[in-house]
Amino acid sequence: MFTIALKQEQYLTYIISDPKSQSRLEVVPERGGLITSWRIQGQNILYLDESRFTNPELSVRGGIPILFPICGNLPDNVYTYNGKKYTLKQHGFARDLPWEVTKQDTQEDSASITLTLSSNKKTRAVYPFEFQLIFKYILEGKKLTIQQTYINDSKQPMPFSTGLHPYFWVREKSNLSFEIPATQYQDQNTKEKHNVTGEFFDLNTEEIDVAFAPLSGNSTSFTDNQRNLQVKMNYSSIYSTVVFWTVQGKDYICLEPWSAPRNSLNTGENLTTLEPGTSKEAVVEMLVS
């Protein structure tokens, strides 16, 4: 039987567990609605930098941060809407603000927790829209589903991009293999575009930050051959880009589904725009085998 328990340390943590599959998920609503940990049969699926997590002045590196209303950064952190300039820091504000737990549910074969983030005075200062984000985390054995609802409560159309930034724990990057449905990628550091060849990157490079687009499919995976473990991500068609990021000497890789590339609030590229009073649904599934 799936269970949901609470743990109070620096932050209140919700723990969703499935004893049968030995799968355990930890969620910290007040730290950006962050999934901080996912363990299956004693193995870490996610990485978490504990020192950054415990410092509320720093953005978290680890778990599964939520990106909204932008993915990546803007030139000088500035975008223009209706002739007025606004400042938004990298990846937006959803990953830094407290979310509210609005529902919990346990079933025989799954358990879920639903979190909501609503616009407020702080968000309106940098993003002039009334909105609600509703994220439902569902654990079903070795599968994690993140159901998302984006609601525009404004009187004007609301443009945004959204994404997830999962940090997957790996110890030996040279033993990884990937399946990414794209024939081209752009290097964030050089801005150059390259064709995808049979060889993946040298993962011992100091930093790799590339965006794969356009995507020809709705599934991306990587295999950790040392641990005999595969993580497969399935995602809705709203996601147009998969970003791969890793840093030398750190035990993580990031495979990030983004709905739009960097600076889309200025360029309009693949930007999602919700009409007043409407909503948009999206899903990301992560399956471990």
pLDDT digits (tens, 9 = 90+) for 51-96: 999 998 888 999 999 999 999 999 999 999 999 999 999 999 999 9
Task: Go through the domains of the chain in sequence order and give each one's CATH number.
Answer: 3-288 (2.70.98.10)
Q: What are the backbone dihedrals phi and psi of residue 140, each rounded to the nearest 5 degrees, phi first?
A: -130, 90
How far, in Å, CA of 49 to CA of 167, rounded? 10
For residue range 194-208, what is the model confidence (pLDDT) as tens digits? 999 877 888 888 999
Given this model, what pLDDT does residue 83 score?
Answer: 93
Q: Out of 55-59, 116-120, 250-254, pick the least confident.
A: 55-59
At residue 244, does pLDDT exceed 90? yes
Cβ contact 35:101 at 8 Å: no
Average pLDDT, the chain: 95
The sign one gets for the Cα dihedral 121, 126, 131, 135 is: negative
Cβ contact 197:74 at 8 Å: no
Angstrom CA distances, 158 to 206, 229, 230, 250, stand at 38, 40, 37, 37
Angstrom CA distances, 122 to 83, 125, 129, 219, 265, stand at 21, 5, 11, 35, 19
Given this model, what pLDDT does residue 199 score?
Answer: 76
pLDDT mean over 104-117 = 95
For residue range 181-240, what is the model confidence (pLDDT) as tens digits? 999 999 998 999 999 987 788 888 899 999 999 999 999 999 999 999 999 999 999 999
How far, in Å, CA of 161 to CA of 268, rounded? 10
What's the predicted TM-score (pTM) here?
Answer: 0.96
Cβ contact 221:230 at 8 Å: yes
Sequence-distant (6+) residues with CB within 8 A of 75 are 263, 266
